[in-house]
Amino acid sequence: MSEQNKANIKRPNLGVEIAGIKLRNPVMPASGTFGYGEEYAPFLDMEKIGAIVTKGLSLKPKAGNPTPRIAETVSGMLNAIGLQNVGIDAFIKHKMPYLRTVNTPVIANFFGNTLEEYGEVARRLNDIPEIAAAELNISCPNVKQGGIVFGTDPQAASEVVTLVRKNLQKPLIVKLTPNVTDITVVARAVEEAGADAISCINTLTGMSVDVHTRKPRIANTTGGLSGPAIRPVAVRMVHQVVQAVSVPVIGIGGIARPMDALEFLIVGATAVQVGTANFVDPTAMLTIIDGIEEFCIDEGIDDIHQLIGSLKL
């Protein structure tokens, strides 16, 4: 389309609402790939993206895993950062001052090592007025139940969401792990337990070996696989979850280009998160937002809701 035509055309409305918070567009970073926001401030205008999602926060600071923590794989990467983070207190003290200066909703991703910790972090988040919503990461091992991951067991997932829902006075997004037989069972469980929205997927558990040293390329042995390689799995799961629940779904997994984001919107995601692609191109989210807008114009769509869930089966 020529520049002139573009100027004449009404810009489509890209605004969406997730769990009661209004976003100027449906594109935000995925937790853990955007630091606490400030790290990427030199590269992109924070007031152009839909929301900011923080690194996963816990009650106490967490040191994370030994190194190597990352390894590149074919069209993807493995990471086992081990949820290193400054802890909720340091977050409030050192990271919120920057986030307060930005006119974009902030979503705090968080987790706990125990059920009680999940609840406690949720309570602490209530005290930060500038946090628009919380994203609950249930991909952590439930230490009490022998290390089984909360998010792989519908019962455990339901319990933790119920508890958090009780403690949290903000919209609650629950983030699901893809490492399950049937993601719709977990999705329905967390919806019933009070999730206002669901985000998926987190990383697929993977492993890679250095054949010369015969050691895993990640000190933790296994790590989470992310990046373009996992996109087909992510699109499938988002499609399934959208069919299974009635709360809005945020699509995540391997999004690097505008048309990747469009795939998720078409299967019914109300918004998307961009993860690994931020590392590859710090301005990826801006390119994606522009691309979505251009696609809408080309297809004669004046509101993004005409696109969301428009899959033809």
Partner 1 sequence: MQNYRTKIISNQEISPGYFRMKILAPGFGEKAHPGQFVMFRVQRSLPPLLRRPFGIFRTGFLPADCDGLPPKEFVEIVYKVVGSGTSIMADLHDGDRVELLGPLGNGFDCTSRQGEKILVGGGIGLVPLYMLAGELIANGCTVRLLMGGRTRDDIFAVTEFERLGVETFISTDDGSLGEEGLVTQVLERKLQKYPDAEVFSCGPLPMLGAVHSICAASQVPLQVSLEESMACGVGACLGCVVKGAGHTDENPSYLCTCTVGPVFKSQYLDWSALGQSDNSCGGCV
Ligand X SMILES: Cc1cc2nc3c(=O)[nH]c(=O)nc-3n(C[C@H](O)[C@H](O)[C@H](O)COP(=O)(O)O)c2cc1C
Backbone angles phi, psi at 243, to 5 degrees: -65, -30
**Which two structure tokens, joined as six digits, stand for 266?**
């078409």
d(CA 303, CA 208): 43
Q: Least separation, in Å, of the C-beta of 9 and ligand X?
A: 30
**How many other C-beta atoms are found inside a 10 Å radius of the C-beta of residue 313?**
3
**Among 75-83, 149-157, 210-218, 263-271, the segment contacting ligand X (CB under 6 A):** 75-83
Q: Which does 31 bind (CB under 5 to 8 A by kind): its own copies, partner 1, ligand X, none?
A: ligand X
Looking at beta carbons only, is 10 or 214 nearer to partner 1?
214
Looking at beta carbons only, is 20 or 66 nearer to partner 1?
66
Q: Least separation, in Å, of the C-beta of 62 and ligand X?
A: 10
Residues that bind its own copies (CB under 8 A): 73-76, 78, 152, 179-182, 204-209, 211, 213-216, 221-222, 225, 228-233, 235-236, 239, 254, 259, 262-263, 266-267, 295, 310-313
Looking at beta carbons only, is 281 or 290 nearer to partner 1?
281
Q: Which one of residues 6, 11, 20, 67 is an interface residue with partner 1 (CB under 8 A)?
A: 67
Binding mask 34-63 for ligand X (x = CB under 6 A): ---------------------xx-------
Q: Which does 34 bind (CB under 5 to 8 A by kind): its own copies, ligand X, partner 1, none?
A: partner 1
Burial class (CB in 10 A: 0-12, 13-18, 19+), 53: buried
Catalytic residues: 140
User: Is 252 within 8 Å of 30 (Cβ atoms)?
Assistant: yes
d(CA 236, CA 132): 29
Residue ranges in contact with partner 1 by CB under 8 A? 32-35, 39-40, 42-43, 55, 63-64, 66-77, 79, 81, 84, 208, 210-211, 213, 215, 217, 219, 227-228, 259, 276, 278-283
Residue ranges in contact with ligand X by CB under 6 A? 30-33, 55-56, 79, 81, 83, 109, 137, 175, 202-203, 226-227, 230, 252-255, 274-277
